[in-house]
Amino acid sequence: MLSARGMVFLGTISYSLYLVHWPAIVLPGTALPGELPLWMTLLIAVACVPVAWLLYRFVEDPVRRTPLLTKRRARVTLAGALAGSLACLGLASAAYAVADTRSLHAERAASSTVIADAPRGTDFVPDNLAPALRDARDSLPEVYDDGCMLGIASTDAEGCVYGDPAAPRIVLFGDSHAAQWFPALEGFATSAGYSVEVHTKSSCPAADIESLRRGAPYPQCPEWRDAVIDRINASPPALVVLATFTDPELAPGVDDDAKTWAAAFGRTLDAIDAPVAMMADTPDMREDPAPCLSAHLSDAAACAQPRTVALEGPARQGEATAAAKRGIPLVDLNEYLCDADACPPIIGNTLVYRDSHHLTAAISADMAHVLGRALQPLLPPHAGG
């Protein structure tokens, strides 16, 4: 099969084809929203073949056969390789320097963020954006720096306590979508006289559902989840705030439907012997807004996501069903993140998302008062409050 004429031809141009196909597929993918459809990827791959042949015929083969190289003088070959490497390094460094100095904001400021329902998104990228687009990925709650956001291997259920250990506790329990609420919860709890006990683990849903981690089984997740619930039940707090990402990677054979999710959330809620408030999951923007905003500095609305897309999914229905069935409050703050039609990426001068579906620590901190307003009626009065 490999000796067939077509296969020999592909083998002959394989290096040129390797050089051509990668930018040909990647660059359109960065220019278009979402992933390239399969038919377009295949069409680009086919179109790369004649381009690769031209590159082989008029560049690669002539250079390879030049007398300067065919004489195989070691010094000349080494010098050429070194010069080529330095040229590539210089070009890459120059390109990086140019990209790093490019302005990533419009030349005007936005008003300070005011959290209100049905927010009107800022329609440009302000020069006082917080965090800046380049810093979006680093806008993390302090639980990450403190080691309180557990990694994949850990099953430690000890957790971390913020505030006065003797004060009544509010437990934050779940995955990274629980951790994203920490700045808001701590801001409220500190002022109201509560401590915050954090139990969060990467990619581990609070719902009792079998999930995967990058395609692999994730046995540490249920082990940790059960251990945290046992710890909560051994010393019940004033309130458990439970949150989870509603679009994780599920194990084969697990149905991704509202009924399955309602049962999964229900098992977790039934296992907790303490007052619980469940956070409705935040919008899923489907793609990271920061790169989109960098290409639409004066048209940030182009990077918004329709509300019907950002807030859809069977798991969201399941969490609502499980909470309603048990009379457990579902705290839905999405009215402060989306208007009737869309979920904007910038509100006031605050960048809302650090990636496709996590809130920045900045917007979370801004929402302390609205989260507190929702949780206060669920908390028992205490002497320090």
159/83 same-domain check: no
Are the CB atoms for 200 and 179 separated by under 8 Å?
A: yes
Contacts of 373 by beta carbon, 8 Å cutoff, 6+ apart: none
97/150 same-domain check: no
Question: What six digits make up the tokens of 383?
Answer: 């002497």
Question: What six digits make up the tokens of 73?
Answer: 């003088």
152/249 same-domain check: yes
The pLDDT of residue 244: 97
Of 380, 303, 378, 382, nearest to 343 (Cα)?
Answer: 303
Q: Which residues of the chain are under the pLDDT cut of 70?
A: 33-34, 68-73, 99-101, 383-385
Q: Is 124 among the domain residues?
A: no
The pLDDT of residue 96: 78
The whole domain housing 326 covers 133-378
85/158 same-domain check: no
39/94 same-domain check: yes
DSSP 13: T
Determine the Cα–Cα distance for residues 102 and 85; give it in Å rounded to an integer. 26
The pLDDT of residue 26: 87
Query: Based on the number of CB atoms within 10 Å of its own CB, is 285 exposed (0-12), middle (13-18) or buried (19 or more)?
Result: buried
Paired with 240 in beta bridges are 171, 276
Q: How far is CA 181 from the centre of its chain?
A: 14
pTM of the shown model: 0.80
The helix/strand/coil state of 45 is helix
- Give residue-wise pLDDT tens across range 261-315: 999 999 999 999 999 999 999 999 999 999 999 999 999 999 999 999 999 999 9
Q: Is 252 among the domain residues?
A: yes
The pLDDT of residue 339: 96
At 363, the amino acid letter reads I
44: left (phi over 0), alpha (psi -120 to 50) or beta: alpha
The pLDDT of residue 314: 97
182/83 same-domain check: no
Determine the Cα–Cα distance for residues 136 and 133; give it in Å rounded to an integer. 5
Question: What six digits make up the tokens of 203?
Answer: 């990619």
Q: Identify the H or E element spanning 145.
A: helix 142-145
What CATH number has the domain bearing residue 202?
3.40.50.1110
25/172 same-domain check: no
**Alpha-carbon radius of gyration of the chain:** 27
Determine the Cα–Cα distance for residues 294 and 279; give it in Å rounded to an integer. 31
Determine the Cα–Cα distance for residues 156 and 223; give it in Å rounded to an integer. 9
Question: What six digits make up the tokens of 151?
Answer: 């990694």
Q: Is 189 among the domain residues?
A: yes
187/323 same-domain check: yes
Of 111, 114, 113, 108, nearest to 126 (Cα)?
Answer: 108
Domain count within the chain: 2
52/173 same-domain check: no
Are the CB atoms for 274 and 231 separated by under 8 Å?
A: no
Number of H helices, E strands in the chain: 16, 13
